């Protein structure tokens, strides 16, 4: 009778990493013949004894990712006593890190999953910023962690993307005299909104450069000083009506303005 080939995947977290490694190795041996049995969230001696008992019944290997030292040592000891082959998938590399980089591991299970969650939160925030950029959909205003308002060329979009990489969901709304601001802007708490202003001279320079890049004449109304003054005046009235904090972005890098935004909002609320 052909013996069943079983690998018990044991982890003090989910066990996805260990299972992935086992499958990768199994493919080198016509892996369809290998049965993988995952044992997740192993966090005490009784859990390890259960695995040892099961592994004793089969012609098996234990492949594990256990970062809690006491549990790892116990599993190694019991596997030796029972003559079971147990393979540590993490500690050889962890030891190499510790030796070469002179760092001490946390020995805390589930950190990879936390990193994954952080990554997916960042992706979600970036997608949010793209979807609700430039006032495309006012419904985003009520869903956002931060709402940026200001006239054109006050770095609303770059700031939205920068803050999204910090995992904040950001919507931004352009303020244009000819277009009434969305009602949602006056429904959200003032602490969720930041107004961005800029000096007329700086905005005039920026808009002239923008028109030049587009191959348009710098005398267009978009860059005229009178138009800029009208827009800034209108924007400040809206910001005062909203009651939001206001930041002057003149001569500031995106990173600097983003830092100011977070500082201002920390005074209003706790992140």
In three state form, how does the secondary structure of 7-74 look?
EEEEECCCCHHHHHHHHHHHHHHCHHHEEEEEECCCCCHHHHHHHHHHHHHCEEEEEEECCCHHHHHH
DSSP code at position 100: H
Cα dist. 116→111, 123, 125, 153 in Å?
9, 11, 14, 35
77 is in an annotated binding site: no
What is the Cα gyration radius of the chain? Answer: 29
150 is in an annotated binding site: yes
Nearest CA among 181, 175, 165 for reference residue 128: 165
155 is in an annotated binding site: yes
154 is in an annotated binding site: yes
157 is in an annotated binding site: yes
Nearest CA among 66, 20, 76 for reference residue 43: 66
267 is in an annotated binding site: no
152 is in an annotated binding site: yes
Residue 259: CB atoms within 10 A of its CB come to 13
Annotated binding site for ADP: 150-157
Annotated binding site: 150-157
């Amino acid at each position: 009778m052909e013996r069943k080939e079983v690998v018990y995947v044991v982890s003090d977290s989910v066990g996805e990493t260990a299972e992935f490694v086992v499958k990768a190795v199994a493919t080198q041996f016509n892996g369809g013949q290998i049965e993988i049995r995952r044992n997740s969230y192993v966090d005490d001696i009784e859990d390890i004894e259960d695995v040892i008992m099961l592994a004793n019944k089969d012609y098996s290997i234990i492949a594990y990712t256990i970062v809690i030292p006491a549990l790892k040592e116990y599993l190694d000891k019991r596997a030796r006593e029972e003559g079971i082959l147990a393979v540590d998938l993490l500690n050889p590399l962890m030891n190499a890190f510790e030796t070469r980089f002179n760092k001490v591991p946390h020995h805390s299970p589930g950190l990879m999953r936390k990193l994954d969650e952080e990554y997916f939160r960042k992706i979600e925030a970036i997608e949010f910023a793209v979807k609700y950029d430039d006032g495309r959909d006012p419904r985003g205003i009520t869903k956002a962690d931060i709402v940026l308002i200001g006239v054109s060329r006050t770095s609303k979009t770059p700031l939205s993307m920068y803050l999204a990489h910090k995992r904040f969901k950001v919507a931004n709304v352009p303020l244009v005299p000819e277009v009434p601001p969305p009602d949602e802007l006056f429904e959200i708490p003032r602490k969720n909104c930041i107004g961005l202003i800029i000096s007329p001279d700086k905005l005039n320079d920026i808009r002239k450069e923008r028109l030049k890049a587009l191959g348009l004449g710098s005398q267009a109304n978009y860059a005229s000083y009178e138009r800029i003054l009208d827009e800034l005046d209108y924007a400040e009235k809206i910001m005062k009506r909203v009651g939001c904090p206001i930041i002057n972005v003149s001569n500031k890098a995106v990173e600097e303005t983003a830092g100011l935004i977070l500082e201002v909002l920390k005074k209003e609320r706790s992140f």
